[in-house]
Structure 1
């Protein structure tokens, strides 16, 4: 029997998010006859930590918030201790590998930019691979952008989540990555369809625009709420249901109260199974100012829900405008016009709905797993 390739993935925590879902999918589907996989989880934290496949060797480093004391003082002390420990080992990566990881690996993976420096500071003679999903054109912090894209050059191979993610770096900074490939994230449509039937969801006011994403300012939900209010005021009854938690929750709640739309702009927070909420809506809207290749688009297509999405990142690589989705610019007026169109001309969303049956054929997961396997095997052979 041939020797398996030893692969280490490193990631911070497992809160519900696109990268975390991609990671779990990869861990489930990379071939076990070729790879011996270890997953190093810095914080044993997040809703998806229990979804890590049971046959993967998992190293958890620090306790998650879920497992800390409910006593406020004790919890604060635990968090201080945790942060000091993390800081110590970040400055002493050799000790982290010696005392905690304790193994050698052929390949080490940084699934997000947050892990770039951790992987690059590894003392192992491994091949180092980075995944990059971020549209750098949106980030106003040029120093941070340059740090990330220069760190990418130090990896043995880079996997970009969409063509646009790679192309925009060349366009803006004239930096190219000859040691790279574009591999889309897999989208598990059959699983999504099954989960969408797990429980009923009833909305008080139809039509409903559902949306899903982390509540971050660049996701543009504050703008979506303004559009919602404007459409209501103009006599177009509808509701919006946003699935997701995050740092903008309190701001959005405050805004909903000020606009008096608390009953029609529903902030549903993070849901372990968001799909019944989407399946029972009439339309889906993605108002983001920046994205890479969001799984949600393919999942919503799989549920036959007509989509309005901003034309950003890798989304035009997923949606054919006016064929299986409707693309708009990431500004208030364009999103408003798109939503108004859906509310006033039912033939347009119906046509998109009809076309989603064929659209899902675009997402061939086995090709994705094969492409990742090829990258890993090729890098191992160069070791």
Structure 2
């Protein structure tokens, strides 16, 4: 039986974490003994992790990556605390000089680079070690394994990173798994010398589980709302474009569309700013933040339209889930959009701009025939992709 290690940060509510839950649920435990290493054992999805996977004990030094700098010092992890502090200062200054919209990715790279000397190695040796979430320094530097695999879930052409630093880390891996063909292409546009390492394995989805969860009873204000209901499930962050959705709804209201309500399931660092935008736009009664929800599917079930207003994506898990629930889906034309939906068949791709989101929403609001066609095509599509796991087994062996 092969010994496998899978490493990730935590099990907070998110698309990557949901895809990890699905993969662990569908793993072949007769062939593989799976250890799961979470840097911090927290998150609402923790109780969804298959009990067939062996959850390793939390290691204090790695738990710091999901704590504030203040908490790290309070825990007396002074060396890691200082490395975190200097990485933040460096990233903020670099972000201002280079005008980087989202310097957080660069900060994470530096955080790991500076902290590496203070992080312990794992004693056990594995046949295969999988790092499920970037940055992959833990598996690259601190795990002994015959084979190493790293996952990529985002569009790397849109992410500002130190390429030299990343390449040094990527070279420790035998395979790099992209979650879509477009995700692979955007990655290789940035790291062309890694072409022989990159393969595509899509996120594992379970239509039966999603449909079952959609019928669970939760407190859901959408049920009583008779307006045209839009839903987005996403982190409240720059990448997901929720700020653009607020501006798009404002345009629609100014055009006289007063019976549209836009609901958002999710949480994140941009929450305060988005709440301020909603208030400034006088949209408190129609752009509604539902916060963190461990089960977003009953909300999807009630939506008339699912919208993903992202600036960039690898492959949005939530879009596939909305399609499984036979919802008309609209996404912005981010770089990997065409690998996400078939435009005009099982989804609609609109221009990636505030006006594009407003125009696309208006079109789908008015064109019930188009919405019905999208729904019908989703109903007639089998979204189960368990065979994707065979690709993983091929490289594990």
TM over 0.5: yes
Please give the TM-score of this superposition, normalised by the length of structure 2: 0.83
Return the alpha-carbon distance in structure 2 between the equivalents of residues 9 and 247 of structure 1: 27
User: Which residue in 1 is equivalent to 2:242?
Assistant: 221
Rate the CA distance shift 1:104–1:170 in 2: closer, same or farther, 3 A: closer
User: Which residue in 1 is equivalent to 2:272?
Assistant: 250
Rate the CA distance shift 1:173–1:49 in 2: closer, same or farther, 3 A: closer
The worse-fitting range, judged by mean Cα deviation, of 48-57 and 236-245 is 48-57
Tell me the number of residue pairs that the alignment of Structure 1 and Structure 2 aligns.
Answer: 356
Does residue 363 of structure 2 align to residue 341 of structure 1?
yes
Post-superposition CA distance 1:78-126 (Å, at most 9, x none)? 7731754866984244x442xxxx4221111111112x11111125243
User: Which residue in 2 is equivalent to 1:380?
Assistant: none
Return the alpha-carbon distance in structure 1 between the equivalents of residues 181 and 224 of structure 2: 38
Match of 1:354 among 346, 351, 376: 376
Return the alpha-carbon distance in structure 2 between the equivalents of residues 295 and 131 of structure 1: 15
User: Which residue in 1 is equivalent to 2:390?
Assistant: 370
1:345 Cα deviation from its structure 2 partner = 2.0
Match of 2:175 among 157, 160, 176: 157
SS at 2:387's partner residue? Answer: helix
User: Which residue in 1 is equivalent to 2:210?
Assistant: 192
User: Which residue in 2 is equivalent to 1:381?
Assistant: none
1:53 Cα deviation from its structure 2 partner = 1.4
**Superposition RMSD in Å:** 2.4
SS at 2:386's partner residue? Answer: helix
Where do residues 286-297 of structure 1 align in structure 2 (5 Å cutoff)? 286-297=308-319
Check whether the contact 1:113–1:148 (CA below 8 A) recurs between aligned residues.
no
Check whether the contact 1:7–1:109 (CA below 8 A) recurs between aligned residues.
yes
Post-superposition CA distance 1:298-326 (Å, at most 9, x none)? 11011111011012244322311111110
The worse-fitting range, judged by mean Cα deviation, of 350-359 and 284-293 is 350-359
Rate the CA distance shift 1:190–1:79 in 2: closer, same or farther, 3 A: farther
User: Which residue in 2 is equivalent to 1:43?
Assistant: 40
Check whether the contact 2:346–2:377 (CA below 8 A) recurs between aligned residues.
yes
Return the alpha-carbon distance in structure 2 between the equivalents of residues 149 and 328 of structure 1: 34
User: Which residue in 2 is equivalent to 1:230?
Assistant: 251
Please give the TM-score of this superposition, normalised by the length of structure 1: 0.86
Identify unmatched segments of 5+ residues in structure 1. 69-74, 378-383
